[in-house]
Amino acid sequence: MPAPRRHAVFVLAWILFWALMILVAVQDYIRNEHGSALWKPVLWEGSSALVTTVLALIQVRGSRADDRLLGTPWRWFARQARWLPMYWIAFVPLAFGLRHGVYALAGEVYHHDPPARLFLYESMKISIFVGLFTVIRFGIKSWRALLEAKLRAEQANVLLAEARLQRLGQQMQPHFLFNALNTISSLMHTDVDKADATLVQLSDVLRAALALGERHQAPLRDELALARGYAGVMAARFGARVELEWHIDDALLARDVPAMTLQPLLENVFKHTVERRRGLTRIAVGAARDGDALVLSVEDDAGRLQPSALPAPAHGEVGAQRESVAAAASIDGGYRGGIGLANLRARLQALHGKEASLTLAERAGGGVRAEVRLPCAS
């Protein structure tokens, strides 16, 4: 809650408290005195409210430095206790002086107990009031300090996640460029013209990558531009050994997805399936809506996983099972996720936590399907 609103709430509660006290005093006066001079009970409680408000403001302003002691309540309360003598000394002269003055203006005399008895009784009353006031202040200040600490922790976590994403993004860009340049280097030994054409395609890919800048997320259409460019570079290298299909729901093109999500999935297929076989590999890239999830997929018809290498999932946790499949894919003899999938998994975790997942699974008809699920609320 913003400070002005918080102060307004406290002031309103203070006013309502004293309004209730005045109302009770008026009711008691009517019931016990049977009089019509209602200004008297209003004066009695009003003078107490005015003087107590002034003294409380002095205490609040004078004890601001004590907030650093909230972590040790006994020290904080001990510091507040030093204000009690101020109430004992000032309350009776100020409050009762106001009453005497108003009564004198009205041509009446204000009667009360003898001074010694009056000071003792009022000091006891004001001590109880100050004690309750101080306990309430401590509760409010402790609650606010807890919220501020929680907010600082959340802000620190956000900054940490931002720094982590920044590091991962900086790690991903040179990794992608390194693999693309390796592809062009291979082509230069077999087909210079194709290498030249592929280099032009690579420039388009780099342009798309630069368009993403240092953003952690980007519209799906920008992500697809990068993925199509990368797939074009790799297809130029492998020629007739690869066939690509794109199944994209155009309604999702404006949706934000983690930057460079599809490219490492495509890289996995080219590196661990297409490159290792001479036959045709069909690759399908998809983007579709599944309930409240946006599903990005890259699947092929020839890749393989090794289920025997799967580690045991955590008990009853679907998310852990998905992580286990992905982890197995990064270590088995078929797919090796390497930096690409490890980086993507870390970025998904940093951006969406358990709401996002990366899974690798064998297809019923052969091949492997890599799937990224992201939150996609209506």
> How many residues in total does the chain contain?
378
Buried b / exposed e along 131-147 (16+ C-beta atoms within 10 A) = eebbeebeeeeeeeeee
Judge whether 277 and 302 are in contact, CB under 8 Å.
yes
Cβ neighbors of 49 (< 8 A, separation 6 or more) are 18, 21, 22
Question: Residue 313's pLDDT is what?
Answer: 41
Judge whether 220 and 255 are in contact, CB under 8 Å.
yes
Question: Residue 164's pLDDT is what?
Answer: 56
Which ranges of 106-238 does DSSP label H, i.e. alpha helix?
115-188, 192-212, 220-238
Judge whether 243 and 283 are in contact, CB under 8 Å.
yes
Question: Residue 329's pLDDT is what?
Answer: 38
Distance CA 64, CA 290 (A): 54
Question: Residue 213's pLDDT is what?
Answer: 56
Judge whether 230 and 298 are in contact, CB under 8 Å.
no
Distance CA 26, CA 36 (A): 10
Q: Give the type of residue at 246.
A: W
* The two three-digit tokens of residue 231, written as one number: 């797939």
Distance CA 35, CA 280 (A): 105
Question: Residue 332's pLDDT is what?
Answer: 35
Longest Cα–Cα distance of the chain, Å, equals 116
Q: How does strand 357-362 pair with strand 281-290?
A: unpaired
* The two three-digit tokens of residue 129, written as one number: 């009031």
Distance CA 216, CA 194 (A): 33
Judge whether 274 and 332 are in contact, CB under 8 Å.
no
What averages of pLDDT result for each successive group of 10 residues across the chain (378 residues)? 69 88 88 81 92 92 86 89 92 92 91 89 90 89 83 67 54 61 77 80 73 74 87 81 94 89 87 87 94 93 65 40 38 49 81 87 89 82
Q: List domains and CATH numbers for the chain.
A: 3-112 (no CATH), 155-375 (3.30.565.10)
